[in-house]
Amino acid sequence: MQLIDGKAVSSSVLEDCRAQIEFLSNRGCSPGLAVVLVGDDPASRAYVRSKERTCHELGIHSVKMELSAETTQDELLGIIASLNQDEDVDGILVQSPPPAHIDERAIILAIDPSKDVDGFHPVNVAKLALEEPGGFVPCTPLGCQRLLGHYGIETRGRRVVVVGRSMIVGKPLAMLLMARGDLGDATVTVAHSRTDDLPGVCLDADILVAAVGIPEFIGKDHVKEGAVVIDVGINRVEDKGAKKGYRLVGDVNFDEVASRCRAITPVPGGVGPMTIAMLMSNTVKACAQRRGIDLADLTETGLS
């Protein structure tokens, strides 16, 4: 069994970002990311803080807006309108989920698609579905795909089962892995809470992706011998023995499943660090695209 090391792979993604940032800087540009958090959900706060920290480490200009849970829809729309106009901001991310009184769809629609580094705007969803380059793909699915690529796990012709149909992970990951090309060309099934015989469907998978948000939901009855398991879940479960009073577990029962896998992601240290790394990568891409700079020139010539 191979443990898939998301921390190591994310470091290599961030190294690529560093080189791209230098390339942009030599052309007079520097990427900027605005992260907006509404309310005080502790997990969301922690994610936002860690996004800001990574921006600082890379030298990406970072705007963090922590707004009270009482912020109105109109106030939030006003903030997005000003971030859309802000020349120093290339990427805009509103942490999901917002409080219940906020209409998340309206917020996503208000973000300029060229700054939508989350890839949630319908324009970018359509570009992914149409296999058009130049759009933004959501960060967690991109991170999962990158992990598979890094470890040389073939997707072409393989059966992939994605458990979970969210707009953030399940749907875009399915589109990404069924798209034509390297790291695509898979036969993808999307399963969810209403799927009949879920274990039977999962047992068919060469690559099983768990993105349901239920702690340790996927057990040995779901996993074929020799399958690759990607665990997207990051769940806080109470643990009185732990310093913070909780510990993080995935959607997969790791101890039950690991010995039958060809490869598996741990939680923490698997998909989690990849999401932030791909956000940085999308932000650098947004900066380059908005200024008409082709980052392929860097990879082709190695010159900055």
Q: Considering only 92-100, 219-227, 237-245, 266-274, which stretch makes contact with ligand GUN by CB under 6 A?
A: 92-100
Task: Pick between residue 174 and residue 257 the one whose CB is nearest to ligand GUN.
Answer: 174
Position 118 contacts ligand GUN (CB under 6 A)? yes
Burial environment of residue 100 by CB neighbours within 10 A (0 to 12, 13 to 18, 19 or more) = exposed
Task: Pick between residue 31 and residue 172 the one whose CB is nearest to ligand GUN.
Answer: 172
CB of 140 to ligand GUN, least distance (A): 5
In 10 A of CB 165, how many CB atoms?
17
Position 248 contacts ligand GUN (CB under 6 A)? no
Position 139 contacts ligand GUN (CB under 6 A)? yes
C-alpha dist (Å) from residue 222 to 158, 196, 212, 231, 257? 17, 13, 14, 13, 9
Q: Enter the tokens of residue 21.
A: 């940032």
Tell me which residues are annotated as active site.
Answer: 51, 95, 118
Position 140 contacts ligand GUN (CB under 6 A)? yes
Q: Which residues have C-beta within 8 Å of that of residue 236, sequence separation ≥ 6?
A: 43, 246, 247, 248
Residue in 79, 80, 89, 93 binding ligand GUN, rule: CB under 6 A: 93
Nearest-CB residue for ligand GUN: 96
Instruction: Put the strands of the sheet holding 2-3 in their side by side order.
Output: 2-3, 261-264, 227-231, 207-210, 159-163, 187-191
Q: Considering only 16-24, 87-95, 185-193, 216-224, which stretch makes contact with ligand GUN by CB under 6 A?
A: 87-95
Position 96 contacts ligand GUN (CB under 6 A)? yes
CB of 36 to ligand GUN, least distance (A): 9
Contact 200, 221 (CB under 8 A): no
Query: What's the CA gap between 29 and 18, in Å, rounded?
Result: 13
Provide the binding-site residues for ligand GUN, judged by CB under 6 A: 93-96, 118, 139-140, 168, 275
